Structure 1
Amino acid sequence: MNGLTTLENLSVNFKPGTIDFPQAEELKKLVADKLEQTKGLVATDESIKATKASRAEVNKLKKSIADVRKEYKTAWNTPFELFESTLRGLEKDCDDASQELKLTIDGFEETQREERKQKVQALIEEMAPNYGVKAEDLPIADKWLLKSTSQKTIVQEIGEQMKVLVNLHKERDEIKKKCMKNDLAPAPYIEMHENGMSYIDVSNKIEADLIDRENTADLFKQAKQAEVAERKADMVDIGDGRLVDENGEVKHELQQVTFTLKGTKEQLDNVARFCITNGVKVVKASEREAVIE
């Protein structure tokens, strides 16, 4: 006799059960009669004992009915519970085997994915020098690690992404140059560009900030001029740029100008000597820095 090889041949002897309850109507009548006897009962000093006895009898009747129901329910359910327990145990065996196979499959696919990743990384490192970019600057797209993605597509998309990188680097260099030319810290604007803001929008932001800075400088200059005019109004001009304040102290009206000079070391040394010789006071001076033009 051949054993079971497929569920198509599984045999289960099942017959829908029936419960014959010939005295159902008699039982209904019995309960109705018993309950009819309790209708209209009132609780008084004389009747309270009988009322409690009636309630106890109703509760006893309910319990007897429930006991019969539970007895037959247990007998009815037991065969199916045994049948279900057997099948659930087999289902769990299948689940355990499926999970073990999944781990095996996942491990194999992860190994293949890592191998594809190494090949893509090697391809990026090979192509990077041709575009003048760093291999570590190009992230590996998930699509390039799919088995269904062809080598041709990967090479093409890597090339396109490297062209984008080249353009981004050029734009960031231009942003840096523009900032340095206008004495702006480039870091915030480069960060805006790295976070997705277009080169044009970053350039417009720089221009707007320069205008704001110029407007602020103008307001500051106007405030300083107003302060000088207010102080001068309280002084007596005695000529030759001399002013006498309210305390009789002589002040000198001087002029102050800010230069950014560019020249050879010798030329700037000569300017410094000229200032010292002619009594020009240097209020503030930056460190010298080398520039190539």
Structure 2
Amino acid sequence: MVNETELLQLPDYSIEYTPTQIQIHNLEGLQRAVNAYANRYANVIVTDDTEKSAKDSRAKLNKLSNALDEKRRDIHRDYNKPYDEFADTIKQLRSVLQDTIDPIDDGLKELDGQHREQRKQHVQSLITEMSPNYGVSASDVEIDPKWLNKSTSKKAVTEGIAGVMKQVKQAQDKFESDSHALTKYAEVNKVDATPWIDQLKQGQELDYLFKAIDHQVDLNNQKQKKLEAQAAEAKAHQKIKGDAIVDTDTGEVVSHQFVLKITGTNEQLWALRHYMDQQSIKYEKVGD
């Protein structure tokens, strides 16, 4: 095992290299030739009549340009060769060290994960312990990832949990109060409160829901008046025969009358009434 106080260092070594000088012999002649070729074709006008010769000129110029670039690539490969060999050697040496570094790195990551899980369990225990004092359920408190950081103090975690629990409690109290008010408002307007409570759960504002109920009641009243007018018109051409209502114009049985005794919770009975209103089913209370 390596002594923890041992200083790891590489032995003295040096790298010798000589910067390469790239010199073009007869550069002036090369420049003159390139300028001469460029000038020769500088004023070529492309028309239907000169298209063929223009393409030939372009091909010759491209050939010269490619020849220059090929020479550049040859020099670049030779220039880079000693560096590429040096870089490969360094990569091989680093690979030997990396083969040892990787398992250590994996072990540290695994250990960090274990420590983080231990901190998470501690935070969850703290939440469970504190939740009764704030009147909330531990399941309602979501763990903030920063509470699991090694650098976060226990005091900061405790204060963070307390702050979240206060917010949760305030939100729950507000929902309970708003839900009660919304239920009463729905009952007064004789509508089912369930769908409105669902919207409240989704974060809809109470004032908006009050206005929405008013609007729905207006629509229901308009629909009911229309149905009543239609029923009155139809009733003028109907008569009762036994338990059936018959259209006097066509002789068709348009509906039946039944006496039912229905038992259910308040919510069920409100839902049933709402359904019958939607379906234009006539009903009336019999007895007390």
Compute the TM-score of the two structures, normalised by the length of structure 1.
0.54
Task: Check the 8 A contact 1:176/1:190 in 2, yes or no.
Answer: yes
Count of paired positions: 209
Aligned residue identity for 1:205:
Y
Go from structure 1 to structure 2 and tell me whether the alpha carbon gap of 1:91 and 1:187 turns closer, same or farther (over 3 Å shift): farther
126, 132, 135: which one pairs with 1:132?
135
Counterpart of 1:118? 121
CA displacement 1:120-178 (0-9 Å, x = unmatched): 10011111122222111111111211122222222222122222222222233334434
Q: How does 1:186-225 map to 2 (within 5 A)?
A: 188-197=195-204, 201=205, 203-225=206-228
Distance 1:228 1:221 in 2: 10
Deviation at 1:228, TM superposition (A): 4.8
Partner-residue secondary structure (3-state), 1:12? coil
Q: 1:164 to 1:190 in 2, by over 3 A?
A: farther
In structure 2, what residue type is equivalent to 1:171?
Answer: K
Which position in structure 2 is the counterpart of 1:88?
91
Question: Could you say if the C-alpha distance between residues 229 and 173 of structure 1 is closer, same or farther in structure 2, counting changes exceeding 3 Å?
Answer: same
- Give the distance between the partners of 1:106 and 1:98, measured in 2 at CA: 12
1:167 aligns with 2:170: yes
In 1, distance between residues paired with 2:177 and 2:258? 34
For structure 2, the 5+ residue unaligned runs are 1-7, 34-62, 239-246, 252-256, 268-288
The C-alpha deviation readout for 1:34-89, integer Å capped at 9, x for no partner, is xxxxxxxxxxxxxxxxxxxxxxxxx9xxx9xx89x96x988766544432221121
Report the AA paired with residue 219 of structure 2: T
Counterpart residue number, 2:263: 287
Paired with 2:235 and 2:82, the residues of 1 have a C-alpha distance of: 113
Q: Tell me the amino acid that sits aligned with residue 155 of structure 2.
A: K
Q: Which moved further from structure 2: 111-120 or 178-187? A: 178-187
Q: 2 CA distance for matches of 1:176 and 1:73?
A: 78
Q: Deviations over 1:229-278 (max 9, x none)?
A: 5457779xxxxxxxxx976x9xxxxxxxxxxxxxxxxxxxxxxxxxxxxx
Q: Identity of paired residues, percent?
A: 26
Query: Which amino acid in 1 is paired with 2:263?
Result: E
- Name the CA distance, whole Å, in 1 between partners of 2:234 and 2:166: 62
Residues 172 and 190, structure 1, Cα contact 8 Å, conserved in 2: no
- Give SS of 1:14's match: coil
Amino acid at match of 1:156: E
CA distance in 2, matches of 1:284, 1:208: 36
Structure 2-normalised TM-score?
0.55
RMSD across aligned C-alpha pairs, in angstroms?
A: 4.4
Q: Specify every segment of 5 or more residues in structure 1 that has no aligned partner in the other structure, as ranges.
A: 33-58, 236-244, 250-280
- Aligned partner letter, 1:159: A
Greater Cα radius of gyration, structure 1 or 2: 1
